[in-house]
């Protein structure tokens, strides 16, 4: 049986963890992840790890940030005066806001709120992190 190739829809079980061992995502308590190879539905390094796998095969993929969630980009962190936010928005650290930036909507984490400003970060939470995925190809669908 040939391994998974571009255009195949696959089902995978996975555990995603940081280099320090902290788990940030897993399919083990849910359903396997289903995606089509070559469609850009998952991060590039994850997709590359699945290419060529056969059902039942397992692998560990160690990905540098560029193959995973990308580098941290300082231009995606903004300090915004509170009076520029809509009056209905009451930002609190740890929450997320949808903001309009460069003619597109972005999800931004509220990092800090002062009496005058709010610091927003639109980087992916795992940007700049090297990650490790333990992957099992469950099936070609």
How many structural domains are present in the chain? 2
According to the model, what pLDDT value does residue 103 have?
74
The answer on 65 and 15 residing in a single domain is yes
Distance CA 104, CA 75 (A): 15
The pLDDT tens digits for 14-48 are 999 999 999 999 998 889 999 999 999 999 999 99
Would you say residue 1 lies in a domain?
no
Residue 1 pLDDT exceeds 70? no
The answer on 62 and 14 residing in a single domain is yes
Residue 2 pLDDT exceeds 80? no
The pLDDT tens digits for 75-110 are 999 999 999 998 899 999 999 999 887 778 889 999
Residue 119 pLDDT exceeds 60? yes
The answer on 114 and 86 residing in a single domain is yes
Query: Could you list the residue range(s) of the whole structural domain that residue 91 is in?
Result: 74-121
The answer on 81 and 58 residing in a single domain is no
Residue with tokens 């709010």, as numbered in its chain? 118
Q: Which residues contact 33 (CB under 8 A, 6 or more apart)?
A: 11, 12, 13, 14, 27, 42
According to the model, what pLDDT value does residue 106 have?
86
Q: In the 8-state DSSP scheme, what is residue 82?
A: G
Type and span of the H or E element at 47:
helix 44-50
Would you say residue 37 lies in a domain?
yes
Would you say residue 101 lies in a domain?
yes
23: domain CATH number?
3.10.50.40
Report the 10 Å Cβ neighbour count for 130.
15
Cβ–Cβ under 8 Å, residues 119 and 78? yes
């Amino acid at each position: 049986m040939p391994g998974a190739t571009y255009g195949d829809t696959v089902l995978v079980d996975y555990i995603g963890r940081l280099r320090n061992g902290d788990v940030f995502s897993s399919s083990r308590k849910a359903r396997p992840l289903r995606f089509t190879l070559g469609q850009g539905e998952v991060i590039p390094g994850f997709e590359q790890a699945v290419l060529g796998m056969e059902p039942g095969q397992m692998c560990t993929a160690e990905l540098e940030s560029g193959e995973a969630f990308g580098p941290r980009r300082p231009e995606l962190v903004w300090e915004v005066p509170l009076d520029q936010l809509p009056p209905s928005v009451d930002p609190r650290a740890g929450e997320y806001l949808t903001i309009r930036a460069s003619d597109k909507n972005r999800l931004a984490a509220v990092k800090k709120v002062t009496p005058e400003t709010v610091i927003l970060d639109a980087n992916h939470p795992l940007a700049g992190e090297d990650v490790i995925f333990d992957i099992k190809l469950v099936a070609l669908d």
